[in-house]
Each structure stands twice: as C-alpha cells, then as structure tokens.
Structure 1
Amino acid sequence: MAPPLTPLLLFLLLLLLHQAAAFPPRHPDLQPLLDFKSSADKDNKLTDWVSTAAGAATNPCTWTGVSCFTNRRVFRLVLQNLNLQGSIHPLTSLTELRLLSLKSNNLSGPLPDFSTLSSLKLLFLSHNSFSGSIPVSLSSLTRLYRLDLSFNNLSSSLPVTAVNRLTHLLTLRLEENRFTGSISGLDIPTLQDFNVSGNSLSGEIPKTLSGFPQSAFSQNQLCGYSMGPCKGGYSDPTKPGSDNGAIASPLVPSGSVVSSSPSSLPTSATPTKNTNHDGGGGNKTSHISPLALVAIIVGDVLILAVVSLLLYCYFWRNYAAKMGRSGKGGGSKLMETEKIVYSSSPYPNQPGFERGRMVFFEGGKRFELEDLLRASAEMLGKGGFGTAYKAVLDDGSVVAVKRLKDANVGGAGKREFEQQMEVLGRLRHPNLVSFKAYYFAREEKLLVYDYMPNGSLFWLLHGNRGPGRTPLDWTTRLKIAAGAARGLAFIHNSCKALKLAHGNIKSTNILLDKSGNPRVSDFGLALFAPPPATSAPRSNGYRAPELSPSDARKPTQRSDVYSFGVLLLELLTGKCPSIGECGGGVVTVGGTVDLPRWVQSVVREEWTAEVFDLELMRYKDIEEEMVGLLQIALACTAQVPDQRPRMGHVVKMIEEIRGVEVSPCHEGLDSVSDSPCLSEDTCGAVSQ
C-alpha cells in the first residue's frame, strides 16, 4: 500500500506560497516605462526610474511624474522639460493612461499609433521635434478633451475627418508646424481653445471657426472672417454682386447688391418675354385688365386691415400690462422701473459724461452697446452685486447681462476693474459660465455672460414645492455637486499668484446649461462688493464663520470651501440655509440660521437618516452614497479654516463616491505647475 501523499502536498503548497510572497506579480506597466527610459532618457534625468534586483517587486507608481490608480495601473504621466529624446512608442502600452504630458523635450520621429490609448483625455506633446503626419488612429481617442501638438515639425494635411470624431475636444493647438492643405471641413462644436497659426494652410476658414481671433489663423494663406474676405470667393459670375473678382465694399450690408455696370445685374427671362408681347418688336407696354386692378386694390385693403389689427393688439396689450403693474405693490413697480431704465438708453448726452466701450474676450461674438440697449430685456433676478437680465439681440442670439448696482463698484477704479475683468475673461472651463464681454463707464458697468436656459440649482431644489412637483433625483444632485466642485477648483487653481476666490458660492449661482450641466456663475465679483457698513447681509447662511457681516476682509479660498460645504448640505437636506432667499424650509439653531450646526447635532445623536431630503427616500441603494457626500460636506464646513480640504481634494472625494469619470482637469487640481489643462497665460500681466 502506498504511503499517504498529504504531507508532501502540503509542503509543496507552502513552498509555492512562499515563493509567490517573495516574488509578487510584476507590475503590468513596469516594462513599457523602463523601455521608454532606456531609449529616451540619455541624460539620466529620471534617476528614480530603476528596477530592483528582483524586478517583480518594483513599484513604478512612486517614480517621478507617474501616478497610478488603486489597481496599480498608470493613469498620469507628466515628464516636462527633461531633454528626453527619441520615440514615444513604448508608452502606447500604457493602456489606462488618462493624461500624457511630454511637452518641452526633444522627442522626435513620427507620432505613434494611438489606438491602444482609447482612455486618454489629455495629450500634451508641444515643443518637441515630432515629424510626419497626424495618424488617422487619432480618431480612436474619443474621450480626448485637450490636444496640443504645437511647435513641432509635423507636416502633410490635417486628417479632418479623424479630428472631427473627437466630439469632446475643448483644446486643439497645432500652431508652428508645417501643415498644408485646407481646414474647411473642420467642425468641432465643443472647441474653446484653437490655434493653427504658423503653418502653410490655405483656403477659407469654415464658419464653425469664425469666432476665434485672427491670431489663431495668422502666418498661413487662410482667408475669410477675421482674416479678411477671400479674393477668389467672388470670381464666380453667377454669384450676386460679383464683378470679375471684385471684392464687395465692407460698408455695404451683406444683403445688398451694388452694381458697377448694368451687366452685373441678374437677368430675368420674364421682362424679355413681355417686351415682345402681341408679336410686335417694339417696346409695347403690357396693359393691366380691370379685373386684375380690382384684385390688387382689395388685396392692399386686406393687408392694411391685418397690419392695423396687429398693431392695435400689440399696443393694447402693452398698455393693459402697464396699467396692471401700476396697480400692484411697490416691489413690482421697482422691478419694472429697472427694466425700463435698462431697455432705454442710460447714457444721456450730457456735458462731462464718460462714454465707455464694450470690451470682448477671445471667441466672443461682437456687438455694439446700442445693440444691447435695443435688445428685448427680461429681468432674471437680483443678487448681491446687481441685477441680471436676459437680453435677446436683434439677430436672435441670447445673452445674460449683469448690471452692477453701485456706481463706484465698491470703490474700485477703472484700472482695477479692467484688470479683474481681464483675469475673469480668460477663465474657460466646462463648469463655468462663460464671461463674454463687459462695459465700463463711470455711470454704468455691465457684464455679459452666456445665457443659461435651465435656471439655477436653487429653483430646482426649492421652487414649486408641493403636488405635481418633479423632484430633483439623486443622480442629478450628485452630478451637479461634482460639476460645481470642478468649476470652483478650476477657479482656485487658475492663478497661484492671485489666489482667486469665488466669494459668493450659493445655489442661485449654480446654473444649468441647455444640456443640464452645472456651471458656476458670478465668480470673482467679491472684489467689487459694497463696503460692509452700507451693504445688507447677503446669503449669511453660506458665509464662513471667520467672515462676520461687519468684517471688511475679503473672502478666501478656504471660505469658498465652507460655502461649498453648505451648498452640499442644501443638496442633501433640501433645506434653505438663508432666510433672505427662501421663506420656508429654513433651519435655525438658537434663533439663527445655521444649517451646518443643525446637521452636526442630528448626526451626533445618530439620527443621520433624519438629515436627508424626504424626496430622496424614494430611491433605493443610495444610502451609502448620501452618507459619503454628507461626510464631505461636514469636512468642508469645519469651523477652523485650515481644517477644511482644498477644492481639488473635494473634487476627487465626490468623484470617488460613484466612480465618476475623471474630469478633463481632474489630475493635478492641487498643483497648478503640474496641471497642463491650465492656460499658461491665465494670470496675464495682472500678477506682475
């Protein structure tokens, strides 16, 4: 009978386990990184990129410029200004990469096949020596937000079809290369930052790119829009107004036709046929029959009657509305008065009157101040810094206009005002309301923004409570929290020198665009707040405890975090933190409004479920997520400012609640110098 094998098997199993512990599995991204260092790091700048003797125990997640997910896969690689050389082909094996920044090196050769990097969101390869064409495999990067290939030696024509498939692209920088051909088919509606200057491109600029400034197209053979009219575009004799390639006068409206000779007028077959009527060859005049004459007269009378009826209805409706408003309380009359003042010209021709001018930022559609004054205006609401209006221009475009209510703008002079506007105008992010233009004069200050058609978070949470109301579901609340956090974090990290703060975070300043995405508004206006002695307490439910109503100190990034924490509590509880903005559902502690203290007291008594909005109780399996967001809100509303997290960390914590997609500027939010998603000239000359 054979002896039992159990002890032998146990010994072998223990030996295998010991070997497995001694030699853990090799890091999946180790070899591609080592291959890249071997070929590219000739100066040995990456001194900590070394493999241990065992090899398998090496953890590249601790190396310079490398960041990993919890599953050990590399998602961020930032190696800038290290004089790296050669090809980047080994890096295409890092299949989980989200951010790749290798700018300001000496890398060369053709661009690799990008099809293995389908998760990439940020790609910065500027200021290198790459050559050849852009590979068609670029179209596989469907999640890409930023693409910067500027200052290289790339050539050939642009793969327009492949680039158009990058439907999330916000930045496309291709300047200072050797590209040829046309860009007429380029159509990426999401683009916010675009530049193809310093190439050999030719042809007409497409309408989809007409909003970008001349500097984005200079040093090419491009024409149209900001580059001036195309000379060859008017040579077609079949087009109205063309005369052997002559360029139409810019003083003539586009709908007019000015002829230099009778031959340029469009010919019609009908008059020629009438001149030969009755078979004669002379210039016989066609006669109008009596029946036709009667029909013309009757038609004219009917048209005149319809026009008169429409005018009567229009003026009667306005008169009735005005009479109805005049009979109401003083509040309605005040609102109507402001609307009338805005709609009429507030800039009288008086001695000593200062006439200002409209100042537009890059990419903004130009219009004159008079166009704004003629616009149909509807008041959207009043805030701490002024009154907001919806304005419909003559061409049908819609903008939001904020009229700063204090003539001295909190004592700020023109230079200080313009410097702050210059900084705010350069802030561009998917979760910020785009600041388009401003007007400054001693008597009037106007700020022009993109109009957000879906209202504010305040209305979604507190408006129309009761039967028939559609509650704000949990998924939407979490999406709004994450988006608002990204926008605020971007403001905080846009310019370290200025330490920008929002200064007025609240639910009425979180707006929703036409796609339902949250956008932070009214950022950077705290500088122009009226002095504390003359201003009424505003939004005190959101104010950080270190900023008392009579305190002249300006808001800080830490106080912004506190206000954002209150905003999260508002999302979770459905309760309003400020009596001045919401009559019902306000929490008071000791007779004062204090939503954070109330939540903390409930949590201390272990009644956490009592905190959450009853409208959220209908959803299943979200308790853990709500508690997670509650913990973030409580951390943000810590009484001591230094104990509050930075907004970059808040973004990460919110996105981790449900594994939310990494945002375009998620990586590096706490470090401006390491964050390629920030524009290098955001601070401009203001910080100098």
Structure 2
Amino acid sequence: MKMQLITAFFFFFVLCFVLGSSGLSPDGLLLMNFKSSVLVDPLSLLQTWNYSHETPCSWRGVSCNNDSKVVNFLDLSNNSFNGPLPVSLFNGTELRSLDLSGNMISGEVPASIGDLHSLQTLNLSDNALAGKLPANLVTLRNLTAVSLQSNYFSGVIPGGWRDVQFLDLSSNLINGSLPPDFGGASLRYLNVSFNQISGEIPPEIGANFPINATVDLSFNNLTGSIPDSPVFLNQKSDFFTGNPGLCGDPCPISSSPSTISDADSPTSTPAIAAIPNTISSNPVTNPATQQTNRSPRTGLRPGVITGIVIGDIAGIGILAVIFLYIYRRKKKNNNNNNDKQREETTDTITLSPDESRRFTKWSCLRKDPETTPSEDEESGYNADQRSRDSEGTLVTVDGEKEMEIETLLKASAYILGARGSSIMYKAVLEDGTVYAVRRLGETGLTQRRFKDFESNIRAIGKLVHPNLVRLRGFYWGADEKLVIYDFVPNGSLVNPRYRKGGGGASSPYHLPGETRLKIARGIARGLAYLHEKKHVHGNLKPSSVLLGHDMEPRIGDLGLERLLTGETSYSRAGGSSRIFGSKRSRGSSRDFSSIGPTPSPSPSSLGPLSPYCAPESFRSLKPSPKWDVFGFGMILLELLTGKVVSAEEVGLGIGLTVEDGHHALRMVDVTIRCELHGKEDFLLSCLKLGYNCASPIPQKRPTMKESLAVLESFKPL
C-alpha cells in the first residue's frame, strides 16, 4: 500500500511538471486576460493570441527579451480596441515599453502601475481613460516618456517629476493649479494644453526646467503674469494663448482667431454677443466652467491664425467700402430711371456688369413665394436672362422675412470659413437678426441655368421644419451666386468644442447623454419629413447637422451640391422626387468649416472613403432615401459610442440580442455611462437601431419613419 502511494505521488509530480512546462507563461496569461477584456477587435489582431503557445513572444504587438520568456515591449497602438483596461496588465514587472494609443480603451489606470519599475515609455494617448492622474508615475525612476493626451483624466498634476523627459497631458479634463514642486530637471518637452488648469504659474516651476525645454500651457484658465524664468522667455507666444487672464512676456495671442472680440464683453458687437458659451459634457455646469471647456487637438498653426485674422479684417473693410459704393450708385440710378421701372410685384436691384464682377452682396428682391416662372414664359427667356445676368438678381423665397438693402448695408459681416471657392459670411443686422450667407463663387453654372437654379432654391425654400436649416433667398449674378440661410448659432457636430479630435478613428463628443439622444431624435424627425415630402438629402454627415440655441439639430446642406453642379433632377420610379445630394464630390478642397463659432451649410467635399456614405452610393449617382438612413445610423452610433464606427464593428453589432444589455453598456462612450446605467434596454434598442440603419445591405435598413418611432418609444432620460 505504501509503495502504491509513492508511485501515485511520483506520477502526479511528473504530470504537474509536464503540464507546467508546456503551459503558457505568466506574462502570456496576463495578455490573455487583456484579450478577454477587449469587446471589439475590428482588425482581428488578437486572433493569433491563444493558450497553445508556451510564450507570447511570437504574438503580434509583443516583444520579449531574447534570453527569457518575459515580455519587455507591448505595442497595441491604433487597433480600434474597445473595452476596459484590465488591472492585471500592469503586473508584468519587466515591461519596459507600453503603447495602447489610438484605441477606445476605457476605465482608470490602476495604482499597480507604480510596480512597473522597469517601465521607460508609456503611451496611453487617444483613448477614453478617466479618473485621476496616476500619482505614482513620478516614482518610476526609469520612466522618461509619458503620453496621456486626449483622454478624460481629471484631478491635479502630481509633483516630483524628477527623471521624465517627455510628458504630454494635453486634451484632458485636468484642473487645479500647477504644482510648485513639479520637478522637471530632465524635462525636454511638457504639454498640458487644452485642460482646465487655473491659478498662476508658480515661479518655482520654471526654475527647475532646462532653458531649452518646450513648455506648452495654452488653452487653460491660467491667470497672473508669466514668470521671467529663462525657459518661459524662450517659448513661442502661442504656447500661452487661450489663457485670457495671463499676461507678461511673451505676450499671449488671441484665443479666438476667428472672432474680433470676446463674446461676453459688454462692448461686443451683436455678431459676437450672439455666440453662446461652450457646451460642457456635464449637463449641469457653472457658467464660468462652461467658458473653460475648449476643444482639444484643434489648435491652428500661427501662420494660419494670422492669415485668418488678416483675411477677416480685410474682408470686413472691403465689404464696407463696396457696400457704400454700390449704395450710392443704386441711389443715383434709381433717381435717373424711375420712369423705366416695371410695374410688377417683383422689385429688382440692378448693377452694371462691372459692378457685378466686383460685388459680393446680399440684398432684397421681394417676390411672392408662390410666383414661379411658368412654361408660357419660356419664349422670352433668352432675352430676360441676358438682362438678368448683366444686372444681377436677388430674390427672397420664404415670404416671411423682408430684407432692405439699407439695413443690410449697416450689418456687421464676418467671414466664418471657406471651402474651395465658396465663402460663408455671418451678417448681423442692427436689430440683432443674423443670417448666414454663402458665396458660391465660380460654380460652373451656365447663364442658361437661372431658372433651374431658382427652381431648386424655391423647392428647398418650401421645406419648412424645425429640424431643417431655413433658406431665405439667393442672389444671381454673372460671376457669382449667393445663398441666404437662417444663422444657426451653435455650429455643427464637427465643431471642435463638441469633439475631442477633428475626425479620425476616435472623436468623442463633449455632450451629455440626453443631448446626444435629443440630437438623434431631431435628425430623425428632419429626415422623416424630407422623405415624406419626396426629397432626399443624399449626403448626410456630422458637418450637415447644425445645432441651435437649445441644441436642437437642424439639417443643412440641402441641395447645395446640386446647385453647384447645376445638374437636373433625378426622378424615382413612381414619383417625382427631387434629389438634393445628386452627386458625391471627389475633389479636394480646403475646408475651414470648423473655424469660428458657427460652421454653416456648405457643399460636401467628402471623398469616397467617408464612413457616412452608403456603400452603394459609389456605384450609382441616383440617391436613395436609404443613403440618408445609412448616414443617420453612422451618426447615431458615433453619438452613442463616442467614435466613428468601422464597417467591421457594424457587422458585429448587427447581431446584438436582448441578452447583450450589459455588453451594450460597455460599448457606449465612457462619459455618458452613468446617465445610461439602469437603462440598458433603451440603450440596446438604440444601438441595434444604429447598426441596422448602417447595414451594408440597403434592403435591410429601416425607413426613417420606423427609426423615429424607435427613438420616440422611450421617454427622455
């Protein structure tokens, strides 16, 4: 019996030895734990990771020491991973380099990161990490490079950075003040821009920095004078901009390059005073805090800022001179030609050919909105169009607002942005009425297309809905065309103050959850109305969605591409549907739509790789309502998840079931999870709706009426 026990023990020992020698190493087990936490792996990078290997050294993104099975380098950057950050990942004590940048990893950095004594470089940028900055990073003496930019870290910056050389904490929610005991004796680069740091710059902080170090403190709430430390005197002025209360040498430049003065100043012009404060990601915020929220990762280069400011000032001056000149010429012409004016309901403002070529204006031709050119007038069109082209014609189409030339001449005009030859102006009248006026420039429209242009404009003008941008009128000249819209004050969804990053694979919104759902409902209402009226937008994207004072969305860009190309309408079988977005623009263009407080309706410059374009749109020039449904689905998913969803993720998300409620909560933007906690059923319905709308198969997409019914079936949060 005793011999049997010894034999059994021997075989058990051998079995344990064999299993232990053939199993995955401890570092491999840690990485497999990370794999299990990843909810979305669109590039399938982690498929090669499995338990059948002895070590993870052959796995993609993993590098080991040549003489051991220990992981030294882990690079999983730019893979669009979505999931929480596992604590166990920081138990690899021999890790020297960790790069998880360019994903959508959420959660907090655990305190166990302080145990990575071999860590030299840490890059967690461009994720959705939150919580306090890990204070024990300063205890890692081998750590020389840290990048935590573009996350949601909050709290104060810890002091004691003795050995770090590169530290990037920009584009977060860091508050408090700069620590006097910051350290930084080895510092070469420090970037804390686009945060909410307040207070004065401690003189001690610059005394420890090397003279040749780069220090970027821009776009915070710093006050007081800039210390006269050599390191600060060597910085560029734009490294201090965006701090209204900061003064000293170098002198900070303006933090709002597209505006003339502070929006809250009592001496501000009506154009500037109409601009609301930045919307915070918190639904209830202090007014002072609202003004501190700025868009990260959207700073312009000094050359671009200077060019924009000079262009604005020059444009305002030129417009004022031109308006005065035209007004005097018009008055003189009216006095000399009163006996030649036509007796009709349409009042026309006329210009000479020379004036037309030099003149960019908007004025008033009051015309009955129900009065449109009839077929009986075709015979006299050739003669009429020659006179019209030589004189220039300005028409209002809404029948409600009447604009007098004298009133418009006194309006303040500001350049909001440009795209190609198209320039958008903001015109503010003395009574506070604001218009957005787009100058189309050389559009390629022939002189024979005035009636097509007018017909299209009037068709758009008849579309009146709270969730559509209202079109008020247009100007037709030989060399240029103007389109007049209602001004929408809060910009578009691509406005930098609502996004952490302009475009790219990760672009979370600085908006509370209820506001995002309100925007989604409004877009759905607007599109459902368009489709009910037999119209199609055809090119829906975030820049087409403008936000009003109450953050109610208004869809813009209606028919503008078609006005630019001058193409005739497409008709669907069984109906006379007018198609607005008749063709995708594939030409490159310079887009300044995010400049200034209010990007406004603009023609599309989206290329064929735009994630908002339905796959079938690149095989056909005939738009369909299904195109709009696809674009709406992509925008809805982006509002919920805080990122641009890839085609692979759409394919995975279509299979969501009722049992996936908890999984759905982990997929949404980390900044709104608390608001949605306990509402998993509603969230799951919204996610399923977004994925179904973004289906690559048009026949499987719901209608906008059905989509709206889903969103309105639940009460607001």
Q: Same fold (TM over 0.5)?
A: no
Could you say which structure has the greater relative contact order, defined with CA pairs below 8 angstroms and 6 or more residues apart? 2
TM-score scaled by structure 2?
0.39
Report which of the two structures shows the higher radius of gyration computed on alpha carbons.
1
TM-score scaled by structure 1?
0.40
